Structure 1
Amino acid sequence: MAVLPIRDRAGNALVDIRFVAEDELAQLVERAVVPASLVVVVHADVVLMVFDSRRKQWELPGGMLDPGETTRQAAVRELREETGIQGVDLTCVAVAEFDLSGPARRELLAVYRIDLQAVPLLVVNDEALDFRWWRPAEPVSDSMSPLDAKIASRAFHSPATGRR
């Protein structure tokens, strides 16, 4: 998989992924704009990707914070809305840093992870048209967000999991 920074077809760049604990994330949120959260859902050494209805590509579940929401609350809500998965305990694993285009800006996104023991019942909806389980060792297809694939791979191999 590509070395950072990497760009997607819209010109957005993933420039860094830093492993952080929840308290470190809280400190970052006090100093910087963290407008969204992503969730890496792992089951049996594969990662859940959703087919985004708007961008027409495979991505991690997640999205923008609603007013007054924390990054954790947004991650839980977006996971439920996009997949139907609920009642799970997420672990904060990282912060992803982006140089985004249209308009040009730098943003941080909170990255959470959940390891599931069983395959969940996934619910197709207006945002997520389909689901697939992706093994991080597999090549990234043209229909997959290279930024989300890199985040998924790094979170899959995070120090907290013991996987390398």
Structure 2
Amino acid sequence: MATLPIRDNAGNALVDFRVADEQELNPLAAVPASLVVVTHDDAVLMMFDRWRRQWELPGGQREPGETARQTAVRELREETGIDDVTLTFAAVAEFVLTKPVRRELLAIYRVRLPVSPSLTTNDEALDFQWWPPARPVSEDMSPLDAEIARRVCQSPAT
């Protein structure tokens, strides 16, 4: 694992990653997004994002009235076609983002799939790859998402 903070090319930084209980999210009103670490055969599912032009974890912004878990389920379905899986809460990641400048917490969920799913490309996810976390991070992969994936894979599943 890398020492935090780590930064991407835009200057965004992953400054903290902590295993937490999902109940801690209730008072954390500043959790506007969720990410999902999907694993199969010791590899992590990364999607190629159309707009950011990089490999990253599935996930995205909370919609009004959604919980962090509902956001994770919806984003996973919309971005990959994966549905009807049970997500486990894994951690909270804290970022310092640059555009606009702000601190932000993200809820991190995980799911381990026994078989490789049928994945659906769409207008946001142009392609998918199974990335082994022991492999180096390529220039077109989010180093922040890769570090989150590594930390989730190394933490005990609950």
Q: TM-score scaled to structure 2, two decimals?
A: 0.97
Query: How many residue pairs align between the two structures?
Result: 158
Structure 1 SS opposite 2:14:
strand
The residue type equivalent to 1:41 in the other structure is V
Contiguous gaps of at least 5 residues in structure 1: none
The 1-side partners of 2:21 and 2:131 are apart by 25
Asked whether 1:111 is paired with 2:112, we answer no
Moved more, 84-93 or 1-10: 1-10
Matching residue of 1:59: 56
1:32, distance to aligned residue in structure 2 (A) = 4.0
Query: What residue number does 2:124 align with?
Result: 127
1:141 counterpart residue number: 138
Question: Is 1:97 matched up with 2:94?
Answer: yes
Take 2:152 and 2:98, find their aligned partners in 1: how far apart are those partners?
24
Residue in 1 aligned with 2:2? Answer: 2
Alignment counterpart, residue 41 of structure 1, candidates 35, 38, 49:
38
Distance between the aligned counterparts of 1:116 and 1:105, measured in 2? 34
Higher helix share: 1
Separation in 1 of the partners of 2:137 and 2:28?
33
The match for 1:11 is: 11
Superposition pairs for residues 77-88 of structure 1, below 5 Å? Answer: 77-88=74-85
Partner Cα separation in structure 2 for residue 160 and residue 88 of structure 1: 15
**1:160 paired residue number:** 157
Match of 1:76 in 2: 73
What's the secondary structure of 1:160's corresponding residue?
A: coil
Report how far residue 58 of structure 1 moved.
0.2
- Gaps of at least 5 residues in structure 2 are none
1:159 Cα offset (Å): 2.5
Is the partner of 1:159 in helix, strand or coil? Answer: coil
In the aligned structure 2, how far is the partner of 1:31 from the partner of 1:114?
A: 23
For residues 79-127 of structure 1, the C-alpha deviation after alignment (integer angstroms, 9 at most, x for no partner) is 0000000000000000000001011110000000000000000000001
Runs of 4 or more, structure 1, over 3 Å off, are none
Rounded Cα–Cα distance in structure 2 between residues aligned with 1:77 and 1:159: 25
Length-normalised TM-score, structure 1: 0.93
Secondary structure at the residue paired with 1:149? helix
Partners of 1:89 and 1:16 lie apart in 2 by 26
How far apart in 2 are the matches of 1:25 and 1:41? 21
Deviation at 1:12, TM superposition (A): 0.4
